[in-house]
Structure 1
Amino acid sequence: MMTIKKCNLENASELQRISVETFTETFKEHNSPEHLNAYLEKAYNLEALKQELANPSSHFFFVYWEQEIAGYLKVNMDKAQTEAMGSGSLEVERIYVKQHYQKHGLGKALLNKAFEIALDEKKQAIWLGVWEDNTNAIAFYQKKGFVQTGSHSFFMGDDEQVDLIMTKTL
């Protein structure tokens, strides 16, 4: 059985664990250990996550499968967005599911949660950045109605990579 629950500051350590685990699973094959570790230390250190959890314009959700944390979602609104997309947009900054739990519809459920939030907040668009070489994720987002509307740099340590910006009008 699947459930989705909102995270708060009390969940910071669990959020750190799932963040490091899922990011590592997703990207370790494509990056040097040095670049990966530099990114993990910067993006997922406990203090950084606590600041993100405390931001009223950002929201985190865990997805549970059989009462185990299987993945998570982070959405941003207003000035919390990583690109200036305006107040009419909601950003899906992070959406990750542990490999062991993939193919159970959890990613789809998390994305649907983001759509629900965007509609509740009366947003006109939802957008995200996805690594240009992550063909599975790109295909998933295209299937859900997202189209490429731009790109931006993403730094894995000091290795510059390209994320495609994909947007869906609501």
Structure 2
Amino acid sequence: MENIAIERATLQDVLKLQDIGRTTFGQTFAELNSVENMQKYLQESFSIAKLTEELSNQYSEIYFAILDANVIGYLKINLNQAQTEKLDLDALEIERIYVKKEFHGQKVGQLLYQKAIEIAHKIQASYVWLGVWEENQRAIKFYTKNGFEPFSKHKFWLGDDEQTDLLMKKVLVAPNESEVS
């Protein structure tokens, strides 16, 4: 889909971020979780205050996938101390890649993922990592296809439900190093 633009979100985009965040998270996880837990998570995690804080964090970046002036997906990355797990300061965390359900299978997630990898190379990150719910087979397959491997696990709370995320990482090779071997 060559008409998709990837643009960085700003503080002025907080309502767009809230809308795409709630929509895509709900589409992805509502069937597998209780209504109460989903409502609580969506209300807390996608509140204007929380999203304003995320957009204001100098070590986090959020990008929208835009098609025909509509936000159809988004990416959130974290650097340095903004990472949700304190791993290595030279790593880049992909905290979120979400795409509206009607655009699944159309390479939107891949475009957002490629933006994250582009930034990781630009800042010379040693690796990229993420957490993915162990029940989210679609996402696990996507990240595995892109070269990620599981290395640990951590707990994730959705409302009052304790869930397990697989931590996956991909070690980066400088673009010119792969040509030398």
TM-score over 0.5 for the pair: yes
Distance 1:47 1:61 in 2: 18
Please identify runs of 4+ aligned residues in structure 1 that moved more than 3 A.
Answer: none
Give the corresponding residue for 1:28. 30
The residue aligned with 1:106 is: 108
Q: How many residues align?
A: 170
Q: How far apart in 1 are the matches of 2:116 and 2:69?
A: 21
1:125 corresponds, among 124, 127, 140, to 127
Unpaired stretches in structure 1, ≥5 consecutive residues: none
Distance apart, 1:119 and its partner CA: 0.6
CA RMSD of superposed structures (Å):
0.6
1 CA distance for matches of 2:106 and 2:67?
Answer: 9
Residue equivalent to 2:138: 136
Q: Tell which deviates more after alignment, 43-52 or 60-69.
A: 60-69
Structure 2 equivalent of residue 150 of structure 1: 152
TM-score (norm 2): 0.92
The unaligned stretches of length 5 or more in structure 2 are 173-181
Matches within 5 A, 1:4-83: 4-83=6-85
Amino acid at match of 1:77: L
How far apart, in 1, do the equivalents of 2:12 and 2:165 lie? Answer: 31
1:67 Cα deviation after fit: 2.6
- With structure 1 as the length reference, what TM-score do the two structures score? 0.98
Equivalents in 1 of 2:145, 2:102: separation in Å?
22
Counterpart CA distance in 2 for 1:46 and 1:126 is 28
Q: How far is 1:66 from its partner?
A: 2.8
Match of 1:84 in 2: 86
